[in-house]
Amino acid sequence: MASSITCIPATRNVFTAIPMTSITKRRVAAYARVSTDSDEQFTSYEAQIDYYTKLIRQREDWTYISIYTDEGITGTNTKKREGFNQMVADALAGKIDLIVTKSVSRFARNTVDSLVTVRKLKERGVEIFFEKENIWTLDSKGELLITIMSSLAQEESRSISENVTWGQRKRFSDGKVSMPYKHFLGYEKGENGQPVVNEKEAVIIRLIFRLFLEGKTPAGICRHLDANAIPTPSGKQKWSQTTVNSILRNEKYKGDALLQKRFTVDFLTKRMKTNTGEVPQFYVEGSHTAIVSPKEFEMVQTEIERRKAIGGHYSGSNAFSSKLVCADCGAFFGQKVWHSTDKYRKVIWRCNAKFNGEHKCATPHLTEDEIKVMFLKAYNNLMGNREQVIADCSLMLEMLSDHTKLDAQTAKANEEIALVSGLVSACVYENAEKAIDQDAYSSKYNSLVDRHQKALARLDRLKAELADKGNRERELRGFIDALAISPLVLDAWDEQLWRLLVVKGTVNREGSINFLFRGNSVIHVPKAFAL
């Protein structure tokens, strides 16, 4: 006996669960976006808003909810699109039935973001209509078409990003300098597109450099700027050491420009990375007007390296802080006050670790007046032979400037790394394609990896040596320049020259001091002279 089959027709929408016979108006919103804030794009942005407002309101079966917008925001990532995210949240909350937008590329240029959002809304019965492509997401073919169109939009975005990157690098190779003027203190964009000095802000930059050369630490400079209510480059009232350090290190303030310090790793996420050799860099000398002189800038770089090299914790609270070293133990001399509350008050400098061990250091304490007089003796002794000192330093500078041997060794190390990388790849490929003895494979592979690691370590050592030579070269240049403009005879204490010329003073047991000047000149001064 044949079975009897009766079809019971569907009565509710599969996505919304609304009865098919009911007549309800769909709550409709639209989404409009432009990716830049140019005048042309603004016109497009306004046109989109006007168009979709009229489109929704003229439909009798639609109820106007809102127009969600993002202006000057990229479509490759949805994280920073406030209008887009608010629209999705309202749709998921049951406030919207239909979203109308111009095209898939306006909605999102990221395939994953586009599909995830469409599916999330589809689960809640919210439909999206892409007008240009005529795609309705609740349609059975909708997701396939969206996948294709989103992929095309993403590829278009990638192509645009590559073109923009190429244009930027072309400008870099031509030596064209650009700055983030809104967050860059001291310069503003000129009529010809080149940076020009903002004198009001330049005063702050010069102050920062001067305070550093006077001995202040970045933290001390921050306190000074905060106390004087000087705003940061971003307009904030609280300075950070990171900001001060970046200013002190930025070559643009001496009129030069290192281009492409950072680059975009992923066009979708817009993630930036510090350039450590992955892409070319371009150094442009004299690209724009300097705010600080090249000599002053180099003096600052030298002082930065000096503070790193001397060890211990640098303090700029006093001219002698982190400058005097105990010959017995290597610790810094620190300021001590005797009889601080009575008329016999006296300030002396003594080894900070004098009483830390079982055997106390034998180096004596010194008064500030003694140190100053001894420095004057050392300085005048040095300047009495200035021409010879400059000649010796110039010869040393010539030797330091010759990187021929290191460059050749670096090139050889890079060749070795490239060669071994190829051998490792070939080894892995051979193991995948052929049946070979695994013990022999492991031995060969491990040997190549070890060879590769040794080559990398050698390259790192060479890079460190080149960087060290560069620092020493810069310090020596600064010292030669400083000697050339300094007075031949010094009759009174000069704190600036002390900070500028002296690397450290080593205090010996008999109270004498070995003054180490920049350029490695050492002058011995007995304590008896200061008495």
Print the SS3 string covering 219-267. HHHHHHHHHCCCCCCCCCCCCCHHHHHHHHHCHHHHCCEEECCEEEEEC
Is the distance from CB of 330 to CB of 352 less than 8 angstroms?
A: no
Strands 187-189 and 26-34, bridge-based pairing? unpaired
For residue 255, the model assigns a pLDDT of: 85
Which of these, 358, 357, 356, 313, lies nearest to 332 by C-alpha position? 313
Does residue 238 sit in the same domain as residue 212? Answer: yes
- pTM comes to 0.49
For residue 89, the surrounding DSSP H or E stretch is helix 82-92
**Structural domain of 206:** 181-188+195-292
Does residue 473 sit in the same domain as residue 492? Answer: no
Residue 299 lies in a domain: no
Residue 228 lies in a domain: yes
Residue 19 lies in a domain: no
Residue 416 lies in a domain: yes
| CATH number, domain with residue 450 | 1.10.287
Is the distance from CB of 222 to CB of 241 less than 8 angstroms?
A: yes
Cα 153 → chain centroid: 31
Q: Tokens 């002053």 correspond to what residue?
A: 296
For residue 38, the model assigns a pLDDT of: 44
What is the pLDDT tens value at each position of the chain, 531 positions in all?
A: 567 777 666 655 544 545 555 557 899 999 987 765 444 444 567 787 888 889 899 988 899 999 998 875 544 445 567 888 899 999 999 999 999 988 777 776 555 677 778 888 888 889 989 888 788 888 766 666 666 665 665 555 555 555 444 445 555 455 566 677 788 888 888 887 788 899 999 999 999 998 888 778 888 899 999 999 998 888 888 999 999 999 999 888 888 887 666 655 544 455 666 666 655 666 777 778 889 988 788 878 877 877 776 655 666 667 888 889 999 988 889 888 887 677 777 888 999 888 887 778 899 999 989 999 999 999 999 998 888 888 888 888 888 888 888 889 989 988 998 898 888 888 887 877 777 788 888 888 889 888 888 988 898 898 888 888 877 787 788 788 878 888 899 999 988 788 878 888 999 999 999 999 987 889 999 986 544
Cα separation, 270 vs 283, in Å, equals: 25
Does residue 380 sit in the same domain as residue 493? Answer: yes
CA angle 39/40/44 to nearest 5° reads 115
Cα separation, 138 vs 161, in Å, equals: 32
DSSP, res 319 = T
Cα separation, 430 vs 438, in Å, equals: 11
Does residue 515 sit in the same domain as residue 369? Answer: yes
Q: What are phi and psi of 99, to 5 degrees?
A: -115, 130
Which of these, 34, 118, 17, 408, lies nearest to 127 by C-alpha position? 118
Cα separation, 120 vs 91, in Å, equals: 10
Is the distance from CB of 340 to CB of 330 less than 8 angstroms?
A: no
For residue 114, the model assigns a pLDDT of: 72
Does residue 355 sit in the same domain as residue 414? Answer: no
Residue 362 lies in a domain: yes
Residue 41 lies in a domain: yes
Cα separation, 134 vs 387, in Å, equals: 83
How many residues would you count in the chain? 531
